[in-house]
Amino acid sequence: MRRLLVFQHVPYEILGNLDPLLRAAGFRIRYVNFGRQPEARPDISRYHGLIVLGGPMNCDQFERYPHLETEIEILQQTISAGKPVLGICLGAQLIARALGARVTANKTKEIGWYELNPTEAGHDDPLFAHFDNSQMIFQWHGDRFEIPHGATHLATSPDCQNQAFRYSDNVYGLQFHLEVDEPMILRWLHTPAMAREAIELGGEHYPEHIGAETKLHINQSITLGNHVFGEFIKRFHIHPRRTPLPSR
C-alpha cells in the first residue's frame, strides 16, 4: 500500500475530490495539519509522495507561521528524492519557493470562476492534455508564483500569467482549485474570513454571484479534475529517481 503525506493549513481546505480518487487507488493518507501541529516535522522518507494544500497565509510569513520553513525544507527533500509532489494554491507557491522562485502579490485577486488557458507546452503535458483551449476554473488567491528555473510553464489566465508548472516529470504546482465540489465552495463562501474577502472585492466576487456561477461550471470542473488527478496518480507508478534542485 502506498503511503501519502498531505500538508493542511486550515480545516476548510481539504483534498476534496482528490480524496476518493486516492483511496480508490489504494493510498493510505496521513494529514499533517500545521494549524493544529505547527511544530510537526514529519519524516518524508516513510512516504511515497506529498500533497500540499492551500491556505490563507502568505508563503513568506515565516515569523508568524514558522512551519512554512519546515514545509519548504521537506518539499526540497521530497523533490530531490524524485517522489511525486502536488501543490494546490499556497501549496504551489511553496513548491515554487522550494525551487528558488519568487512569490509576490498578483495585480488582482482571483476569487471565483476564471478562464484558464493551457500553454503550448501544457497541451503536451499528460495532466494538461485533458484541458480544452479555454476552461472555466475555480480560483481563490491574491499571490502569484514565478515559474521556477528548469520548470515547464503549463497554464495561464488573463489576470494571472503563471497558473501552473511542472518540475521534472512528477512535481506539479497548480494555482487554481480543481479539487473543489459545490459543498466545498459553499463552505468557503460561508467561512467568515473568506466571505469578507469576497465581499470587499464586490461585484462579480459577491458570494451570491460565485454561488450561481458554481452551479454552471462545477460538473465540468469535477470531470476535468478527475482526469487531471488520475494522471497525477499515475506518477506513483514511475520509479523514483533523484532530482536535482535548481542551482541558486
Would residue 89 show up in a list of annotated catalytic residues for this protein? yes
| Domain segments of the chain as ranges | 2-237
Exposure class string for 219-241: b at 16+ Cβ within 10 A, else e: eebbebbbebbebbbebbeeeee
Would residue 177 show up in a list of annotated catalytic residues for this protein? yes
Catalytic one among 67, 89, 110, 146? 89
| In contact, 52 and 7? CB cutoff 8 Å | yes
pLDDT reported for residue 248:
59
Cell of 47: 512516504
pLDDT reported for residue 203:
79
Angle at 133 between CA 25 and CA 194, to 5 degrees: 65
pLDDT reported for residue 185:
96
Would residue 204 show up in a list of annotated catalytic residues for this protein? no
pLDDT reported for residue 115:
97
CATH architecture of 2-237: 3-Layer(aba) Sandwich (3.40)
pTM assigned to the model: 0.96
Q: Could you read off the pLDDT tens digit of each residue along the chain, which spans 248 residues?
A: 899 999 999 999 999 999 999 999 999 999 999 999 999 999 999 999 999 999 999 999 999 999 999 999 999 999 999 999 999 999 999 999 999 999 999 999 999 999 999 999 999 999 999 999 999 999 999 999 999 999 999 999 999 999 999 999 999 999 999 999 999 999 999 999 998 998 888 778 888 899 999 999 999 999 999 999 999 999 998 877 788 888 75
Overall size of the chain counted in residues: 248
